[in-house]
Chains A and B, each alone.
Chain A
Amino acid sequence: MLPHEQAAEIFDRIRKLSSADEVEVLFNGGHFALTRFANNTIHQNVSEENHVVSVRTVFGTRTARAFTNKFDDESLRHVVKSSENLARVQHPDPDLLPVATREEASGAGSIDDKAPSRYFEQTAAITPELRAEGVRQIVGVADQHKLTTAGVFSSGETFEGVFNSRGLSAWHTQTSAEISITMLAADSSGWQKANSPNVANLDPLRLAEIAAQKAVDSSVPTEVPAGKYTLILEPAAVLDIVGFMFWDYSGMSILDQRSFLTGRIGTKLFGENVTIWDDVAHPLQAGSPFDGEGVRRRRVPLVEHGVIRRVVYARATAEKMKRSEHKNSVGVIEATGHGFSLPNEMGEMPVNIVFAPVSDPQTVEQMIASTERGILVTRLWYIREVEPFEKMLTGMTRDGTFLIENGRVKGGLHNFRFNESLIHMLSSVEAMSVPVRSSGEESFDMVVPAMKVRDFNFTELTKF
């Protein structure tokens, strides 16, 4: 791991090498290891250490960035020169702002004021032997149920840092651990996944037991025809499908008129029970407390009781929005600390999504008990956008799809293809569980509830 102090020293060397008006340097990297298993054996087992520095130089209103993973004098001299050569030949960008000052980036307090520690020694100390022991336990559960298992147990420690020539210095270190398990039977499967900065929050045996039970319970699957069903989506399924809309909660996306929220901010688009925040400081969230310019991430209400309230902004996007034709119709306009590193064409995005708890949460079991006929979904897969303005998405169910009849799970089902509008789905939520930290494969980790949704649109069946 690159220490903060060494990064600061490298920044000083870069600054001295540069002839640009302004310099901004980003650091990221760390150590990551992943043990992968399939067919009840470890078949891939990897580890990597990498540190990357990128240098953005500014000449007037021209800017560009160059990257290297070498920190010797010659490599730093080369990366500065590459960045400057690229920047000098850019066309002037009237929207480009000076690099952020420390005060501008941190708002009222210092950058680290609200950042919870996300570095855990126990996670950083995980060895290949400890991961193998976790896998051995998971395989033991598979053997016990006469199943075949596949999955991963990973761990890592990472850093992110931003320094600039106006005195800003932001640094974040974090650990992470993740377990993902698929249990396979002859004609069915089950799945579970969890991650956390703190490995103590992960229980491989419990995850393995749940995944195995799903595989067992969904065996000998039957078919029901495609159509509209009451659907109970476990949190990972909710995460993977709703994740496709958050690129649109961006000031740049509104300015580009590619967001489904264009002309819809302030309108009630979803049900009364849907309230969504972006909140990096939430105790179940993870990630850096600052954005690609070092600006502290603020807590932003995106949706309140179904009404689209705000979108997030990088510094330059906020200034541009204030001058745009949309300025009176998009709510609060301010830099929220969600910008990508510059230069980029996408602007910003909320990445710490938290669904607010409802006053009358239900467990998945309670949702099932109150369902006359419906379908329980463990996981969704290969989700893609079919139509951007109604946010029509397609995808498949996977690894545990169950028929519910008369308040009980009747058994496994063949998997479905859905074509469903997110606007319709989030307007049709009949019940939610307490939000939990959840992890899927199609979207980034979020704090989301399970949901019971009426009239979810399945259009086709597959063969298993």
Chain B
Amino acid sequence: MQHVANWALNTAAVRGASYADVRVVATRNRALTTKNGKVGNASDAESIGMSVRVIADGAWGFAASSELGRGAVEKTAAEAIAIARASARVKREELQLAAEKPAVSEWSTPYRIDPFTISVEQNIDLLLKIDAELRSVPGITLAEANLNFNREEHWFASSEGADIHQTKLSTGAGYAAYAFAGNEIQKRSYPNSFGGQWQNKGYELVEELRLVENARRIAEEAIALHQADQCPEGNFDIILDSSQLGLQIHESVGHPIELDRVLGMEANFAGTSFLTLDKLRTLRYGSDLVNVVADARQEHGPGLGTFGFDDEGVPAQCTPIITNGLFTGYLSSRETAHTIGLNRSGGTLRAEGWNRLPMIRMTNISILPAEKPLTLEQLIASTDHAILMQTNRSWSIDDKRYNFQFGCEIGWEIKNGERVRMVKNPSYSGITTEFWNSMDAICSHDEWTLWGTPNCGKGQPQQVMGTGHGASPARFRGIKVGSAFHGS
């Protein structure tokens, strides 16, 4: 792909770009789903294209095309320049890119089994086995299961001399059982809702998840929810399982620390952030137990936010976000780093595909587990009265990321250290900083899972990105529970 990069970079230089970078991305996706004993979707998709990002007249321009011939590439680069010059007509300040040593490198996702080598028959057999197991439980009215495999090959080159080739592999797998009866639909999912678990791994992820082994339990829980009491309303201590805590981190830590939001660049769509620049290193975000990092490095784990380099050629890094409860860092890019006094980007700029402009995205935003051993069962045993909530069902948060409300698929009332009853329709709500300051216990590494969120939307045109969130179960004191159903 070197020739494509050269055509684009040369055209940009000749036409006056002060900076240019080129990305060529080739993707392959396989999606397989089953529903009630039948294959729902079976598709293979391939896409390849290139994009050019330039600075000309001190403003940004970006153009993308699926055509990789010389004429099309040069035309695309010229269009990016023309767009940049149009941008310069409504410009207030000069762009400042933080310096970055141009990297020449190769990187790829470590994996054990290439998922595209597993036959479609084997995959469908697995999905139908799960489906049969779910529907063997009387009362299950709908069973859905999915497998997704993605391979992305990225080439990045810049006018500064960067030349990076990365190959990323990701896998997703999960299922859900629905039970409709009377005037109620209840649902249970495994291992998480909205498509299950997603990681930068090969087919080994599917093998690790023990999908078939858990299917009957999940279906039985969906049925049992119909007989369960409604979750009580009031102020309670709550314990969140690790997947729900992962989404809580995504919404109430991951988004507000995006520096483009903080600076108003997303004000029209995704919103802004309560984390104004004066709060850096002054805001008590959470209790002393709250330690959150943004870590894109492979050593953090196979998260959807793991990579070698971001989409402007900056190496993966680990940034402390919350340190012993204190707010200590934002997600930054080469363009925004200077606004918080950094002379280097945090390496978080990513694009959905070849045809999208890279923007600040969460990497793996993870809460660190307790160092002292603490299992979920030990946490429950040490709790007088609380609601344990598992597996997200709904999520909503305001456009500055203060007020949130989450619903979960299943809850358990805990009294005197024991689960005493299942409750249905559990939900909780609060204000972000008050919530994180109420955390008084978190389980240790044995309970920590690096969850994948494959569907994070941001930007105009909207881009969907995968992010990672490591979490172990944690307890929060005095949280408002059940207001989702208040007054209904």
A101 to B154, CA, bound (A): 42
A50 at the interface (CB under 8 A from B): yes
- Residues of chain A lying within 8 A (CB to CB) of residue B397: 382, 396
Q: What bracket does the count of chain A residues touching chain B fall in?
A: 35 or more
Residues 38 to 87 of chain B near chain A (Cβ within 8 Å) = 38-49, 51, 59-67, 76, 79-80, 82-87
Q: Contact at B461–A128, with CB atoms within 8 Å?
A: no
Q: Contact at B89–A129, with CB atoms within 8 Å?
A: yes
Residues 380 to 421 of chain A near chain B (Cβ within 8 Å) = 381-390, 392, 394-396, 398-399, 415, 417, 419, 421
Q: How far in angstroms is the closest Cβ of chain A from B42? A: 4
B184 at the interface (CB under 8 A from A): yes
Known contacts A39-B265, A50-B65: A464-B402 contact under CB 8 Å? yes
Q: Contact at B398–A396, with CB atoms within 8 Å?
A: yes
- Residues of chain B lying within 8 A (CB to CB) of residue A227: 487
A257 to B178, CA, bound (A): 9
A388 to B179, CA, bound (A): 12
- In the complex, the chain A residue whose C-beta lies closest to that of B179 is A257
Residues 385 to 438 of chain B near chain A (Cβ within 8 Å) = 393-400, 402-403, 405, 407, 425, 427, 429, 431
List the one stretch of A150-158, A268-276, A285-293 in contact with chain B: A150-158
A70 to B68, CA, bound (A): 10
- In the complex, the chain B residue whose C-beta lies closest to that of A135 is B90
- Residues of chain A lying within 8 A (CB to CB) of residue B59: 42, 45
A50 to B76, CA, bound (A): 12
A441 at the interface (CB under 8 A from B): yes
Q: How many residues of B contact A (CB 8 A)?
A: 91
Q: Contact at A70–B48, with CB atoms within 8 Å?
A: yes
Q: How far in angstroms is the closest Cβ of chain A from B216? A: 21
- Contact pick for A43, options B41, B60, B86, B142, CB 8 Å: B60
Q: Contact at A41–B427, with CB atoms within 8 Å?
A: no
Residue among A87, A262, A464 facing the most chain B CB atoms (10 A cut-off): A464
A131 at the interface (CB under 8 A from B): yes
- Residues of chain B lying within 8 A (CB to CB) of residue A37: 90
A196 to B238, CA, bound (A): 48
- Contact pick for A66, options B44, B48, B87, CB 8 Å: B44
- Residues of chain A lying within 8 A (CB to CB) of residue B84: 45
A362 at the interface (CB under 8 A from B): no
- Residues of chain B lying within 8 A (CB to CB) of residue A257: 141-142, 178, 180, 185
- In the complex, the chain B residue whose C-beta lies closest to that of A257 is B180
Q: Contact at A345–B268, with CB atoms within 8 Å?
A: no
B93 at the interface (CB under 8 A from A): yes
B355 at the interface (CB under 8 A from A): yes
- In the complex, the chain A residue whose C-beta lies closest to that of B90 is A42
Q: Contact at A90–B124, with CB atoms within 8 Å?
A: yes
Q: Contact at B66–A389, with CB atoms within 8 Å?
A: no
- In the complex, the chain A residue whose C-beta lies closest to that of B62 is A46
B101 at the interface (CB under 8 A from A): no
B208 at the interface (CB under 8 A from A): no
Q: Contact at A228–B263, with CB atoms within 8 Å?
A: no
- In the complex, the chain B residue whose C-beta lies closest to that of A41 is B92
B119 at the interface (CB under 8 A from A): yes
- Residues of chain A lying within 8 A (CB to CB) of residue B488: 390, 392, 419, 421, 457
B279 at the interface (CB under 8 A from A): no
- Residues of chain B lying within 8 A (CB to CB) of residue A419: 405, 483-488
Residues 410 to 464 of chain A near chain B (Cβ within 8 Å) = 415, 417, 419, 421, 441, 457, 459-464
B214 at the interface (CB under 8 A from A): no
List the one stretch of A16-24, A78-86, A330-338, A363-371 in contact with chain B: A78-86
- Contact pick for B264, options A86, A184, A421, A461, CB 8 Å: A184
- Residues of chain A lying within 8 A (CB to CB) of residue B180: 257-258, 262
Q: How far in angstroms is the closest Cβ of chain B from A400? A: 12
- Contact pick for A462, options B86, B120, B398, CB 8 Å: B398
Q: How far in angstroms is the closest Cβ of chain A from B91? A: 5
A49 to B400, CA, bound (A): 34
Contact with B along A36-62 (1 / 0, CB 8 A): 111111111111111110100000000
A329 at the interface (CB under 8 A from B): no
- Residues of chain B lying within 8 A (CB to CB) of residue A399: 399
Q: Contact at A89–B119, with CB atoms within 8 Å?
A: yes
B33 at the interface (CB under 8 A from A): yes
Q: Contact at A47–B79, with CB atoms within 8 Å?
A: yes
A34 at the interface (CB under 8 A from B): yes
- In the complex, the chain B residue whose C-beta lies closest to that of A260 is B185
Q: Contact at B274–A45, with CB atoms within 8 Å?
A: no
- In the complex, the chain B residue whose C-beta lies closest to that of A63 is B42
- Contact pick for A184, options B38, B39, B47, B267, CB 8 Å: B267
A168 to B354, CA, bound (A): 33
Known contacts A70-B66, A129-B86, A462-B403: A386-B484 contact under CB 8 Å? yes
A64 at the interface (CB under 8 A from B): yes
Q: How far in angstroms is the closest Cβ of chain A from B285? A: 15
Known contacts A38-B267, A182-B267, A419-B483: A65-B394 contact under CB 8 Å? no
Q: Contact at A131–B62, with CB atoms within 8 Å?
A: no
Contact with B along A130-152 (1 / 0, CB 8 A): 01110110010000000010111
Residues 86 to 134 of chain B near chain A (Cβ within 8 Å) = 86-93, 119-121, 124, 128
Q: Contact at B269–A343, with CB atoms within 8 Å?
A: no
Q: Contact at A128–B82, with CB atoms within 8 Å?
A: yes
- Residues of chain A lying within 8 A (CB to CB) of residue B267: 38, 148, 150, 182, 184, 189
Q: Contact at A382–B398, with CB atoms within 8 Å?
A: yes
- In the complex, the chain A residue whose C-beta lies closest to that of B68 is A70
A110 at the interface (CB under 8 A from B): no
Q: Contact at A132–B43, with CB atoms within 8 Å?
A: no
- In the complex, the chain B residue whose C-beta lies closest to that of A421 is B488
Q: Contact at A34–B86, with CB atoms within 8 Å?
A: no
- Contact pick for A132, options B40, B42, B89, CB 8 Å: B89
- Contact pick for A45, options B87, B265, B487, CB 8 Å: B87
Q: Contact at B90–A132, with CB atoms within 8 Å?
A: yes
Q: Contact at B65–A48, with CB atoms within 8 Å?
A: yes
B183 at the interface (CB under 8 A from A): yes
Contact with B along A90-130 (1 / 0, CB 8 A): 11010100000000000000000000000000000001110
Known contacts A47-B64, A50-B66, A128-B86: A415-B396 contact under CB 8 Å? no
Residues 217 to 262 of chain A near chain B (Cβ within 8 Å) = 227-228, 256-258, 262
Q: Contact at B47–A67, with CB atoms within 8 Å?
A: yes
- Contact pick for A345, options B41, B76, B263, CB 8 Å: B41
Q: Contact at B91–A42, with CB atoms within 8 Å?
A: yes
Q: Contact at A32–B461, with CB atoms within 8 Å?
A: yes
Q: Contact at A417–B62, with CB atoms within 8 Å?
A: no
- In the complex, the chain A residue whose C-beta lies closest to that of B123 is A89
Q: Contact at B264–A394, with CB atoms within 8 Å?
A: no
A383 to B398, CA, bound (A): 10
Interface pairs (20), CB distance under 8 Å: A34-B460, A36-B268, A38-B268, A42-B87, A44-B60, A44-B265, A46-B356, A50-B64, A54-B45, A69-B49, A69-B66, A83-B44, A85-B120, A128-B82, A129-B86, A258-B142, A392-B484, A396-B403, A419-B405, A457-B488
Contacts A42-B86, A47-B62 known; 12 new A-B pairs at CB < 8 A = A37-B90, A42-B88, A44-B357, A45-B86, A47-B80, A49-B66, A66-B43, A66-B46, A67-B46, A93-B38, A256-B142, A399-B399
- Sorted nearest first, the 6 A-B pairs with minimum C-beta distance are A345-B40, A128-B86, A462-B403, A67-B45, A150-B267, A257-B180
